[in-house]
A and B are shown apart, each in its own frame.
Chain A
Amino acid sequence: MTIASPRSPLTPHLARLEAESIAIIREVAASFRKPVMLYSIGKDSGVMLHLALKAFAPGKPPFPLMHIDTTWKFREMISFRDAMAKQVGMELLVHTNPDGIARGINPIASGSALHTQVMKTEALKQALDKFGFDAAFGGARRDEEKSRAKERVFSFRGPGHSWDPRAQRPELWSLFNTRIRDGESIRVFPLSNWTEYDVWDYILAEDIPVVPLYFAKPRPVVKRSGTWIMVDDDRLPLEPGETPEMRMVRFRTLGCYPLSGAVESTAANLPDIIAEMRAARTSERQGRLIDTDEDASMEKKKREGYF
């Protein structure tokens, strides 16, 4: 595919972030036997994919995309994913944990912690092992959460995908240590130094497609634990007296629909989203129900192999 001309020239700040990320993505292609790019369909994944396309132009990125499908993603995410893969012409691998399906794991009855563990963390490990990937790109940013702030750009994983914060290698300059032995792997985060603002500014400047769920629209929702949950299909059991109502809402982050809180908003285009974000007084993770149990929960999940 060709990349559309940017709407506006990048600011020096965004140009520098872009160049750094492209260098990281190329480094993986040059240094690893079998890399894969994790594609979660969200805005960060969209930016990462866009950067990969730029990094290898006029060729295509020399690795496939992979989506870990919990089967509970918004329907609009899945159709967007398939359309994007087709548009960019890259191979898309989709993996769902068959054991989790067999056990009937779901975010509602099983709870968010077990669902995430089985359908995301375990599923990811299964998929990486199944295809023998030795490097996997993820779209995580250091500004998202405290334990992420210490994450390396090239994050070393021991046998069994284990993450030991004390075994991480010092990263000096841009001289990444890409050497691993059999059974070990690296998770690579090209967007480490981007902030949520940078991501949206870049999406606007480069005209990158995003899932329509980020834009405000009347959607059927119910209020739970102080946040709006969208009734995306009839698998969401309604509690007694609960009736979906149409509200003008949008999502700041996307995940499994029963775990993604919507915010009331009228921001229906990119400039409005950016204006709304700049005025916001809550972090984007607030809408993510998986983080709220304990503040250190992300570190725990990472040790177990979560992105």
Chain B
Amino acid sequence: MAARAQHELLRFLTCGSVDDGKSTLIGRLLYDSQLIFEDTLAAVARDSRKHGTTGEDIDLALLVDGLEAERQQGITIDVAYRFFATPRRSFIVADTPGHEQYTRNMATGASNASLAVILIDARKGVLTQTRRHSYICSLLGIRDIVVAVNKIDLVNFDEATFERIVGDYVTFAAELGFRSIVPIPISARFGDNVTAKSGNTPWYHGPTLLAHLEGVDVSQDLSAKPFRFPVQWVNRPNLDFRGFAGTIASGTVAPGDQVVVAASGKATRVARIVAAEGDLDRAEAGQAVTLTLADEVDVARGDVLARPAERPAVADQFAAHLLWMDEEPMLPGRGYLMRIGNVWTPCSVTSIRHRVDVNTLEQHAARRLALNEIGFCNFSAGQAVPFDPYEENRATGAFILVDRFTNRTAGAGMIAYPLRRASNIHQEHFTIDKASRAALTGNRPIVLWFTGLSGSGKSTIANIVEQALHRAGRATYALDGDNIRHGLCRDLGFTAEDRVENIRRVGEVAKLMVDAGMIVMCSFISPFRAERRMVRDLLGAGEFVEVFVDTPIEDCIARDPKGLYAKAQAGQIKNFTGIDSPYEPPEAPELHIRTAGRAPEDCAAEVLEKLRAAGVRC
């Protein structure tokens, strides 16, 4: 074997159910490839007597179960990365947990792996979790699988058992699109067929696990794919140098190559490939380089350079698989932040086409995605972004969704294809615009968004404000739950999903009315920060005035103008805000009106004062 190939890296992950022996297997690989140092082994021998499950023997799982909490519980709760090398190859193993609630960790490990070792307990055979893990591997783009039938010693090294499990697995996995499935009977605890051939399985003629991992070809040949260069950082150390730093996602590049900026279509040529030790005459996928361009075209972080004849898709709407990883469920219409390549942009799911049951691979209708659920969804992003289908390019087809308030990484997406609907609806440019309409009415178009509990006085205050505006000759309109829910939103209920959609529609209507030059009063409980933020983002700067009508719930219950609290408390109304559905108060509203002990007229005067300050004549 050539010297260069000897140091090729293999990143793989191990997955299986609890107690299938993943940690023991990795401990065995480290132990048998002599990567365990004496002092580490001494510590493990000490710990084996304290936490171990193997009696007097050294518990190899303790070599890899890192965090104190999980060692005491005897389970692995987070992805751990392990390193070992043989003379033929270096390895990085992602040790991922088998627990149902930790699917996200498995996906994390799979996202950077090119092979998966799926453990199956020989006594139990193919389980629901086996199917789940295999599906996630497939979804994340893993094409090469090892089925390690573990604890073969506990079924007396029985060939028939092994064959039955392999048969079950191959049947199940037929639709998952794997390129190779290699089954190996092993005992992680005793080492059979892990690094050395076992005398206990004379009927098995295949390679040991380690021999297979050393020899397997998982190359994706990224350099043969179309050139993609996501610009990560614009390097301008002085006025004479303007370089574009980034990692080549696929393809190759050389000075003189024609390139285009994917989003703008601007074309130029590559001038130099700059590296610390001198210019390069060629660079390929995986290299972190700095390019300079022949012309002064507008290029920024987030742009993708490609060849003119092989461009990525550029779209703001697309269909993608989404794995949800947050405790807070994903609701269509809710705004998230998407990171794709080096671009951050607002993004929401416009519809869930179906949810995938990861155990049966069946497709179901769904209105939300909960933690660890996977759906196939339509997305709408705040700007057109360049991408490739994930199946063609993992680096340019993957994205994450981040919660706008907690900043948690909430979703992992894999793009299937662009949706063309946005590009087919060409926006007509009318000569009369918002400014001219506003000039005619003398209005400063604006949305007053009253949010607060039911019965807090939103509509009452809005009504007084509208009367005052009307008297002053301003063109106004009031949107509230009554006129919206009886028409535009009559198909919606009061679940979290429906509340999100309700506010999305109201937001769009309010936006049209602002465009028409109106002052719009919106009175909606609008309990979630995310949706109020969504409406704010729909409108221009200064056009959204959030008015928090802050009335203690005891006062609302005491007033109860529509008798709704009484019904909710009696259990006759479900999902009632403040009773069995949450209200998230605004963190920084433009106006915070505490109504306790005040007349509605007094509160309305405060709103009018704010409007005058914003330039509304009233």
Count A interface residues, CB 8 Å. Answer: 62
Q: How far, in angstroms, from A13 to B8 measured CA to CA in the complex?
A: 6
Partner of A12, one of B4, B92, B107, B288: B4
Q: How far, in angstroms, from A174 to B400 measured CA to CA in the complex?
A: 10
Does A149 lie within 8 Å of B8, measured CB to CB?
no
- Least CB distance from A202 to B in Å reads 12
Chain B, 1-57, CB within 8 A of any chain A CB: 4-5, 7-9, 37-40, 43, 47
A280 within 8 A of B: yes
Does A173 lie within 8 Å of B395, measured CB to CB?
yes
Chain B, 382-413, CB within 8 A of any chain A CB: 394-395, 398-400, 402, 407-409, 412
Q: In chain A, what residue has the closest Cβ to B400?
A: A175
B253 within 8 A of A: no
Known pairs A149-B81, A177-B407; A5 contacts B67 (CB<8 A):
no
Q: How far, in angstroms, from A32 to B139 measured CA to CA in the complex?
A: 32
- Least CB distance from A294 to B in Å reads 9
- Least CB distance from A190 to B in Å reads 11
- Least CB distance from B613 to A in Å reads 27
Interface of B, secondary structure class, is mixed
Q: How far, in angstroms, from A84 to B478 measured CA to CA in the complex?
A: 68
- Least CB distance from A303 to B in Å reads 10
A299 within 8 A of B: yes
Query: Interface range on chain B: under 10, 10 to 19, 20 to 34, or 35 or more?
Result: 35 or more
Does B9 lie within 8 Å of A150, measured CB to CB?
no
> Chain A residues near B82 (CB, 8 Å)?
143, 149
| Stretch of A21-29, A65-73, A74-82 with 4 or more beta carbons under 8 angstroms from chain B | A21-29
Partner of B408, one of A23, A169, A175, A300: A169
> Chain B residues near A13 (CB, 8 Å)?
7-9, 90
> Chain A residues near B104 (CB, 8 Å)?
170
Does B288 lie within 8 Å of A179, measured CB to CB?
no
Does B78 lie within 8 Å of A30, measured CB to CB?
no
Does B233 lie within 8 Å of A30, measured CB to CB?
yes
> Chain B residues near A269 (CB, 8 Å)?
none
A180 within 8 A of B: yes
Q: Which residues of B contact A (CB under 8 A)?
A: 4-5, 7-9, 37-40, 43, 47, 64-69, 71, 78-83, 85, 90, 92, 95, 104-105, 107-108, 111-112, 232-233, 235-238, 241, 243, 245-247, 274-278, 286-288, 290, 301, 325, 337, 339-340, 342, 344, 394-395, 398-400, 402, 407-409, 412
* New A-B contacts (19) at CB < 8 Å, excluding given A19-B286, A54-B275: A12-B9, A13-B90, A22-B247, A27-B232, A30-B342, A56-B245, A59-B237, A60-B237, A142-B83, A146-B65, A149-B80, A165-B67, A165-B78, A170-B105, A171-B409, A193-B92, A283-B40, A286-B37, A300-B68
The 5 closest A-B pairs by CB, nearest first: A59-B237, A146-B66, A57-B276, A283-B37, A11-B7
27 contacts between A and B (CB under 8 A): A5-B278, A11-B4, A12-B8, A13-B9, A13-B90, A14-B7, A15-B287, A19-B287, A55-B245, A58-B241, A58-B243, A59-B235, A59-B241, A142-B81, A146-B67, A148-B66, A150-B78, A170-B105, A173-B111, A177-B402, A193-B83, A281-B37, A281-B38, A282-B37, A286-B37, A295-B47, A299-B68
